[in-house]
């Protein structure tokens, strides 16, 4: 009884504290900044902590760091992760369950790309294939901000193809990503490039690309032992695995034939493009006066070199280490720019990632850890065998689905296969992975990952409405390294809030990727739709 009373009195005093907190005038940030580093796995910033002096240093020392942040869906592909960050909803709700998924059209499951849209094209390129966010089924923070005040603006810029599109579903938005060495958008968003974008593309970018830099290692000599050794037999094209990387060595033939193309590709492969995206964001802040007016604006920046080079060299490679050292400096300059233009207390920033990354299979094997690379033949044999077991039956028939699942489960690299009915039954929680799979599944959209044919890029399992879980450590041979699984290595991500009212600290509670946007919106005083899956996780008096 006494104990109860004490608890009650504590909660009353907390209520009083909260009420008194409310009566004070809260200073709201004028700019929300979402900084997403594609594919940055949890722990890498800590591993290289000693080397950071600028941007990451500030975020690590002065930010509120969540040390147990997770992606809560099974299909840890970039598109699903970015839309989850932006909307605060699981893929099951926002609809981007995979980069390509099986939609039911005329009683047949058909593989559909998550952004392709034949009614649009890339602005300035009338013959190009179009993209739009029309298949995103939930509102995102960019929309919450601009719906809250008609003066508010949002800008999303990204290095990787369509990366920024995943952050904004609204027409008339400013959304640009690097494509062929220029920052472009879809006709869905605009019918004319603003002058500042045109100027950046026509006058600034050509100078950056004209003299392609030799990509040299800038990691200080004494810290190089923190990553894997620079040279590893399984990296990249297996030939150019060592610094310095140069366009002459790696794109020499194309450089002779088509120098402009070679230089644009090189730009897209190297850290220069991420650094340029940050400069492009600064130009946007200046031109659109983001965070400098009497309202709240939103800015999303998506950097993609860590992802691209983790696919090619692995997350523990010297190449990814060097990218992080360069980003430390570039993000430091960007934060200085924000401090100067917007003011230290006038913005709030979240650094996070859309997914993590496994170690390269061969690296794990060298360390006597279990890892297995599924070769093309093994995958095609798997699909042929399970197809044979259900020959002649229609795609949506239950008999076929059961036969396919039964046949698939016999393979030693398959841990489990979840049927359409298991995935549809939200009350079924016998398996710790099942709820993560359910977050990646909709009755009308079945993901393709993590296992698909390398010949036709489809899967009879997804077509049957089911989802496969491979054994931990198993990877299909699409790249040197691939994410997309349900396991911790793909689901653990960094999460740091910084700026405005944020006090430095470490929070060890479980945090979730769906909480990023609701938290940023809460801090900025922007209403979050009531049915959003995520919630605010930063205490007002943090």
CB 260 to Zn ion: min, Å: 28
Per CB under 5 A, which region of 131-139, 184-192, 213-221, 303-311 contacts Zn ion? 303-311
* 177: phi then psi, degrees, rounded to nearest 5: -135, 160
- Please tell me the distance from the alpha carbon of residue 340 to that of residue 88, in angstroms, as a whole number: 30
Per CB under 5 A, which region of 163-171, 187-195, 212-220, 307-315 contacts Zn ion? 307-315
How many residues bind to Zn ion according to rule CB under 5 A? 5
CA separation, residue 37 to residues 82, 220, 239, 304 (Å): 10, 22, 27, 6
CB 445 to Zn ion: min, Å: 19
CB 83 to Zn ion: min, Å: 11
DSSP string, 11-24: HHHHHHHHHHHHHS
CB 354 to Zn ion: min, Å: 4
- Of 392, 390, 414, the C-alpha closest to 403 is 390
Question: Which residue of this chain has its Cβ atom nearest to Zn ion in the complex?
Answer: 78
Strands, DSSP E only, in 394-540?
414-418, 445-447, 467-470, 474-476, 492-499, 505-512
Site string for Zn ion, 315-354 (x = CB under 5 A): ---------------------------------------x
Nearest CB to Zn ion, comparing residues 78 and 168: 78
Site string for Zn ion, 60-89 (x = CB under 5 A): ------------------x-----------
CB 41 to Zn ion: min, Å: 11
Nearest CB to Zn ion, comparing residues 200 and 452: 452
How far the first Cα of the chain sits from its last, in Å, is 31
CB 530 to Zn ion: min, Å: 29
Nearest CB to Zn ion, comparing residues 85 and 197: 85
In the set 307, 322, 328, 422, which binds Zn ion (CB under 5 A)? 307
Nearest CB to Zn ion, comparing residues 307 and 322: 307
Is-contact 86 165, C-beta < 8 A?
no
Q: Is 39 in the site for Zn ion (CB under 5 A)?
A: yes
- Please tell me the distance from the alpha carbon of residue 272 to that of residue 415, in angstroms, as a whole number: 41
CB 453 to Zn ion: min, Å: 22
Is-contact 201 307, C-beta < 8 A?
no
CA separation, residue 142 to residues 146, 505, 509, 526 (Å): 6, 27, 27, 11
Nearest CB to Zn ion, comparing residues 75 and 474: 75
Is-contact 363 234, C-beta < 8 A?
yes
Nearest CB to Zn ion, comparing residues 483 and 512: 483
- Please tell me the distance from the alpha carbon of residue 369 to that of residue 333, in angstroms, as a whole number: 40
Nearest CB to Zn ion, comparing residues 72 and 354: 354
- Please tell me the distance from the alpha carbon of residue 242 to that of residue 41, in angstroms, as a whole number: 23
CB 236 to Zn ion: min, Å: 19
Binding residues among 109-128 for Zn ion as defined by CB under 5 A:
none
Query: Which residues make up the interface to Zn ion (CB under 5 A)?
Result: 38-39, 78, 307, 354
């Amino acid at each position: 009884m006494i104990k109860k009373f004490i608890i009650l009195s504590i909660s009353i005093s907390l209520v009083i504290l909260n009420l008194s907190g409310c009566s004070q005038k809260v200073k709201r940030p004028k700019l929300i900044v979402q900084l997403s580093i594609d594919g940055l796995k949890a722990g890498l910033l800590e591993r290289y902590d000693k080397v950071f002096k600028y941007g990451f240093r500030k975020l690590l020392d002065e930010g509120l760091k969540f040390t147990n942040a997770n992606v809560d869906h099974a299909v840890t592909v970039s598109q699903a992760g970015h839309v989850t960050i932006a909307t605060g909803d699981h893929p099951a709700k926002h609809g981007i369950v995979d980069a390509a998924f099986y939609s039911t059209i005329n009683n047949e499951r058909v593989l559909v790309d998550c952004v392709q849209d034949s009614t649009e094209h890339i602005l300035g390129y009338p013959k190009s294939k179009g993209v739009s966010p029309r298949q995103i089924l939930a509102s995102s923070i960019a929309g919450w901000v601009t719906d809250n005040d008609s003066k508010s603006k949002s800008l999303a810029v990204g290095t990787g193809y369509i990366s920024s599109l995943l952050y904004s579903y609204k027409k008339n938005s400013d959304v640009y990503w690097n494509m062929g060495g220029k920052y472009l958008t879809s006709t869905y968003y605009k019918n004319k490039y603003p002058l500042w974008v045109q100027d950046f593309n026509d006058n600034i970018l050509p100078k950056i690309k004209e003299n392609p830099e030799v990509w040299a290692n800038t990691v200080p000599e004494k810290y190089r032992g923190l990553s894997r050794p620079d040279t590893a037999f399984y990296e990249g094209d297996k030939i150019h695995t060592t610094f310095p990387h140069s366009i002459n060595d790696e794109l020499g033939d194309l450089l002779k034939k088509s120098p402009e193309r070679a230089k644009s590709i090189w730009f897209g492969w190297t850290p220069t493009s991420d650094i340029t995206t940050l400069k492009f964001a600064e130009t946007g802040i200046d031109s659109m006066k983001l965070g400098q007016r009497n309202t709240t604006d939103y800015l999303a920046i998506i950097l993609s070199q860590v992802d691209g080079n983790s696919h090619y060299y692995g997350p523990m490679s010297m190449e990814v280490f060097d990218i992080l050292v360069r980003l430390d400096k570039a993000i430091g300059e960007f934060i200085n720019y924000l401090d100067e233009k917007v003011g230290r207390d006038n913005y709030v920033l979240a650094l996070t990632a859309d997914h993590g990354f496994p170690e390269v299979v061969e690296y794990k094997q060298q360390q006597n850890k279990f890892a297995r690379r599924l070769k093309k033949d093994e995958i095609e044999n798997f699909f042929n065998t399970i197809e044979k077991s259900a020959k002649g039956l229609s795609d949506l028939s239950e008999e076929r689905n059961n036969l396919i699942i039964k046949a698939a489960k016999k393979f030693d690299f398959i841990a489990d296969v979840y049927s359409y009915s298991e995935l549809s039954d939200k009350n079924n929680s016998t398996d710790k992975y099942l709820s993560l799979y359910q977050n990646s599944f909709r009755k009308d959209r079945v993901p393709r990952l993590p296992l698909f044919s390398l010949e036709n890029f489809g899967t009879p399992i997804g077509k049957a409405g089911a989802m496969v879980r491979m054994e931990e450590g198993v990877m299909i041979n699409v790249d040197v390294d691939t994410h997309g699984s349900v396991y911790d290595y793909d689901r653990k991500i960094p999460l740091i809030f910084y700026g405005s009212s944020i006090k430095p600290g470490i929070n060890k509670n479980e945090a979730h990727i769906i909480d990023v946007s609701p938290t940023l919106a809460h801090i900025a005083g922007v209403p979050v739709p009531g049915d959003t899956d995520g919630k605010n996780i930063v205490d007002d008096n943090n």
